[in-house]
Amino acid sequence: MFGDLIDKFDGIFRKLRGAGKLTEKNIRDSLREVRRALLEADVNYKVTKEFIKAVEKSAVGEKVLKSIEPGQQIIKIVHHELIKLLGEKAEPLAPIDKSPTIYMLNGLQGSGKTTLSGKLALEAKRKNKKPLLVAADIYRPAAVKQLKVVGKSIDVELFSLEGKNPPKICTEAKKYAEKNFFDLMIIDTAGRLHIDDELMNELEEIKARVNPDELLLVADAMTGQDAVNVAEQFHNRLNITGVVLTKLDGDARGGAAISIRAVTGCPIKMVSTGEKPSDLEVFHPDRMASRILGMGDIVSLVEKTEQTLDLEKAAKLEEKLRKNAFTLEDFYDQLQQLKKMGPLESIIGMIPGVGKALKGIQIDETGIVRVEAIIQSMTPKERQNPDIIDGSRKRRIADGSGNSVQHINQLLKQFVAMRKMIKNMSKMKFKNLPRGAFPFQM
Ligand SMILES: Nc1nc2c(ncn2[C@@H]2O[C@H](COP(=O)(O)OP(=O)(O)OP(=O)(O)O)[C@@H](O)[C@H]2O)c(=O)[nH]1
Ligand SMILES: [Mg+2]
C-alpha cells in the first residue's frame, strides 16, 4: 500500500533533513519533488496543485526557516496538509441502531461489493447485531449464489427473490427484516462495466424505496483516477454518503485514496486491504497520512492485533513494544500471531519507520518456517539477549536448525532492525504529534 509514495517521500525528507539550514530555495526544490511524487502516484492534478500551494504557504515563512529543525517542520506541515486532504477525521458508518439499519453497496463490476457485504455482516455480528444480506444482483447468473456462499461462510441469512426486480427485492427484504428483527440489512447491488442510465435509474429507485442509512460507493483503489471519476459520477446521481476503497493492498500508488475526498467532497469511510474478513479498516485520515509519509501506523496495527488475537495478548504486546522490551521470543510469538493476521507486508507496513528499516530484508511467508526453526534452536538465554550469539553459537544454531550461518546472520540483522524501529516507536507521542513524533532520525 502506497509503496511508491512512501519511498519517494522518504528520499525527499532525507534530503531535507540532511540540508541543515534551509533556504527558501531548497524548500521550493523539495516541494517540486513532492509535487512530482504526487503526480506520479496518480493523484489528481488539481488536488496536487492545491496541496502544494497550501504547504508552500505555511512552509515559506520566516518561522520555518528560523526554527531549530526546519526539515522536521516541513515534514510536519506536509503531514498536516495531507491529513486535511484526506478528510481530517474518521467518519464511521452509520450506527446500527434501527430495525433494520440499511447499508446499500454500489459500484462498478468487480469493485468488491459482495466481498464487502460479507465483511460488514461479520463485523455486525461481532457487535452482536443481526445482519441480513440482500441479493439485489439478478443480472449476473452466479451473483446470488456467490452471496449465498459468503453468507453461509459467516452464518448470516440471505434474502433473495426469484423473478423480481431489484427495487422490489429490496422492498420485500426490508419488510422481512422488520418482521424478523434484523438489525442491519446489507444490499449487494449489481455491478456494471460502465456507468449507464439503466443502472443509475435502478439504484435511484432502490434508494427511494428503502431509504438507506448508508449509500456507499465501493471503489477499486487500483483503478486510480478512474475510481475518482466513478465516485464523482455516482455522487452526482445518487448523493452517496461515503466511499469504501477496496484493494488498497494492491495499490502501490495511492492516487485514488489521496484524491477522492478532495475531488468529490465525499468521505472515505472504510478501506479494504484484502479478501479476508478481517481485512477491513475504518479510514483514519491521520493514520493514513502517517502511513503515506512512512511514519507507520502503530495504532491500526494494535487494533488489528486486538481484533485477531485475544485482548490480553494484545495488551501485553503493546506494553512490550512501548517498554522497548521486545525479545526474539516475542518475535517468535509474533510470527505465530502474524500468520493469523494476513499478508505480512500489510501488517509490517503499519510499523513506523519500517519502510526503510526492513527494506531488502526478506520476510516472505515461506521464510517464516526457517525463522521459526532458527529461533527454536536457540537457548532461552540467546532468545532474550541475542547480543551473546557469537560465531560458535551461530554455527550451533545453524546446524540445529538445518540452516547456514548466513541465515542466522540474516535473521539477527532483521531482528536488530526491528528492535531499533520499536525503540524509535516508543519515542512517539500519538496525541501531540509535533516534536519527536517522527520515528525516523532527524
Ligand atoms: N486484493 C483484494 N482483493 C479484493 C478486495 N476486495 C475484493 N477483492 C477481490 O475482488 C474480486 C471481486 O470482488 P467482488 O466482491 O466479487 O466484487 P463485486 O463488486 O461484488 O463484483 P460484481 O458483483 O461482479 O459487480 C474478488 O476476487 C475479491 O476477492 C480487497 O480489498 N483486496
Ligand atoms: Mg457482486
pLDDT (tens digit, 9 = 90+) per residue, 102-142? 999 999 999 999 999 999 999 999 999 999 999 999 888 89
Q: Give the model's pLDDT for residue 441.
A: 28
Bridge partners of residue 244, in order along the sequence: 218, 270
On whether the CB atoms of residues 205 and 238 are closer than 8 A, the answer is no
Which of 118 and 342 is assigned the larger pLDDT?
118
**Whether the Cβ atoms of residue 241 and residue 215 lie closer than 8 Å to each other:** yes
388 Cβ contact list (under 8 Å, min separation 6): 381, 382
Cα 87 to middle of ligand 2, angstroms: 28
Query: What residues form DSSP beta bridges with 218?
Result: 244
For position 432, what pLDDT does the model report?
Answer: 37
Superfamily grouping for domain 298-426: Signal recognition particle, SRP54 subunit, M-domain (1.10.260.30)
User: Distance from the CA of 170 to the center of ligand 1, in angstroms?
Assistant: 22
> 110 CB less than 6 Å from ligand 1?
yes
Ligand 1 atom with least separation from CA of 116 = 15
Give the pLDDT of residue 13. 79
Distance CA 385, CA 327 (A): 7
Give the pLDDT band of residue 303 (cuts 50, 70, 90): low
Residue 192 CA: nearest ligand 1 atom is: 25
Cβ within 8 Å of residue 242, ≥6 positions away: 91, 93, 214, 215, 216, 217, 266, 267, 268, 269, 270
50 in contact with ligand 1, CB cutoff 6 A: no
Give the per-residue pLDDT at 437: 33
Residue whose Cα lies nearest atom 12 of ligand 1: it is 110
**Closest ligand 1 atom to Cα of 109:** 25
**pLDDT exceeds cutoff 60 at 311:** no
Q: Cα–Cα distance between 329 and 320 in angstroms, integer? A: 12
Pick from 339, 430, 411: which is nearest to 371 by CA? 411
What whole-number distance in Å separates Cα of residue 262 and Cα of residue 256?
10
- Cα separation, 412 vs 360, in Å, equals 14
235 Cα: distance to centroid of ligand 2 (angstroms): 20
% the chain with pLDDT above 70: 79
CATH code for the part of the protein at 3-86: 1.20.120.140
What are 121's three cell numbers? 455482516
pLDDT band at 417 (very low <50, low <70, confident <90, very high): confident
Residue 277 Cβ inside 6 Å of ligand 1? The answer reads: no
In the chain, where are the structural domains located? 3-86, 101-292, 298-426
CATH of 101-292, picked from 3.30.465.10, 3.40.47.10, 3.40.50.300, 3.30.460.20, is: 3.40.50.300
Which H or E element spans position 184?
strand 184-189
274 lines ligand 1 (CB under 6 A): yes
Separation of alpha carbons 369 and 407, rounded Å:
12
Average pLDDT for 266-275: 94
* Ligand 1 contact via 272 beta carbon (within 6 Å): yes
Ligand 1 pocket mutation pick from 148, 186, 275 by most atoms within 8 angstroms of CB: 275
Taking the alpha carbons at both ends of the chain, their separation in whole angstroms is: 25
pLDDT digits (tens, 9 = 90+) for 176-215: 999 999 999 999 999 888 778 888 899 999 999 999 999 9
pLDDT of 17 reads: 72
- Ligand with the closest atom to the CA of 191: 1
Measured in whole angstroms, the distance separating CA 20 from the mean position of its chain's CA atoms is 34
Say yes or no: CB of residue 137 within 6 Å of ligand 1: yes
